[in-house]
Amino acid sequence: MEKKSTFKPVDKSERLHVLDALRGFAIFGILMINIQFFSGYSYMMDDVQSQLLLGDWNTFFNRLHAVFFRGKFYTLFSLLFGIGFAIQFVRASSTDRSFTVHFSRRLFFLLLIGLVHLWAIWFIDILVLYALCGFVLILFKGFSNRGLLLAAFLILLLPGLNSWYLNAYDGGYTTALYQLLSESWRDLNIPVESDEYTTFRVYDISAAIQSDSWRTFFSFNYLGPLLRGYMVSLDGRVFKVLGIFVIGLWIGRQLLINKIHENRPFLIRTAIVGLLIGIPMNIIFAMDDPFMLENSWYSIVQETITTFRYIILTAGYVALFMLLFHTDLKGILNRMFSAVGRTALSNYILQSIIGIFLFYGVGLGLGKHLGLALLTLFVVIIFLFQIAISELWLKRYKYGPLEWIWRVLTYGRYMKNRIEK
């Protein structure tokens, strides 16, 4: 006779609350980078950027974002995914139902949510990639701790190998994607930056974003998966995410078994090393080709080292955050980040909707006016709004709206979400 499954969502008393706060911190940092893409700023030519409001401050904020934000918070988000996998696996070890089946079902519905986001809302989606890499992560659940670290190291070398391959073989497998993208862009009559269109250029994305035509918006979204696939293939993003997932799996074990989040000496050492090494490394690579190498070799060196420098500085951030979480600042950190972190999926999608409304041509069209200084100010305003609505929501409901839908689909049964008085 088949036994009833004992899988159930994590009870509030079982949560590691510092992870909720870290997840909210990650959502803040992701917005700081994504706002440059929502507005089209990252796709504008330098002379166009300089004409934006407070454009004289662009260089300063470009460096600031490159050193302290770019890549670090997607790295943190990816680490938290791996940590969550480890926690779920340990909780499932004493149940009668296959963890692989349960987690695969969870990933399948995350994939569906990501596809809707990618195709219908915003093309720079991370959820599809997370779901696909999550299926591969399942293969690592039986690895030893040493095996996980070795596997992660080898996987994180692959972006450099991918860069070498693309340089050595004139674009390699991405050439076909680029040609298809160029042809599709022209066939769908999506706006371009220059009247003399021959092939797709990254500047053309800015023209599509600034268009006030809903036809352009939907045509651009239709190309979203192709454009996203091309962009991901250029920097070996699949290998970066998977490698960080594996490290997150290792960290998750250390949190549960060795309680490293309560080990103050370990956290102090990690914070010092992460910040003292990570910040200089990221300052160096925020410069344009600091080693004066040929473009192809610089690209290879950069792609090989980039993820490691992101991880090192992110480790410093996490350790410092955990140290502060054990001080009188815990209440402030909880208030700033925990509610957003508990509703991270909903808030991630909400940021896309807000970004399109504020910055796209079909919305308020602010993207073509604001320099990076003002975009940074908008990040603070948007995140404060997200804190407020997240706290209001969680006073009435146990889970965020998308978190609740994801759980219902995953567990295959209706669950009450409203908190009963």
Grade residue 37 by pLDDT with cuts at 50, 70 and 90: very high
* Stretch 13-17: mean pLDDT: 65
Asked whether the predicted pLDDT for residue 290 surpasses 60, the reply is no
**Please, what is the Cα angle at 315 between 309 and 319, to 5 degrees?**
155
Question: CB-based contacts of 42: which residues, under 8 Å, 6+ apart?
Answer: 36
pLDDT band at 288 (very low <50, low <70, confident <90, very high): low
pLDDT score of 198: 75
Which of these, 356, 338, 352, 355, lies nearest to 393 by C-alpha position?
338
Q: What are the tens digits of pLDDT across the range 222-268?
A: 999 999 999 999 989 999 999 999 999 999 999 988 899 999 999 99
pLDDT (0 to 100) of residue 15 = 62
Beta carbons of 311 and 75 less than 8 angstroms apart: yes
- Under the banding of pLDDT at 50, 70 and 90, the label for residue 358 is very high
Between 302 and 413, residue with greater pLDDT: 413
In percent, the amount of the chain with pLDDT more than 90 equals 79
Burial of 213 (0-12, 13-18, 19+ CB in 10 A): middle
Length of the chain: 421
DSSP code for 93: T
Q: Mean pLDDT over residues 141-164, rounded? A: 94
Rounded to an integer, the average pLDDT of 57-80 is 96
Per-residue pLDDT at 298: 65
The model carries a pTM of 0.92
pLDDT of 168 reads 86
pLDDT, tens digit (0-9, with 9 covering 90-100), for 294-305: 556 667 777 888
169 has a pLDDT exceeding 60: yes
Q: Which residues contact 5 (CB under 8 A, 6 or more apart)?
A: 95, 96, 97
Q: Output the average pLDDT for the chain.
A: 91
* pLDDT at site 167: 86
Secondary structure (3-state) at 362: coil
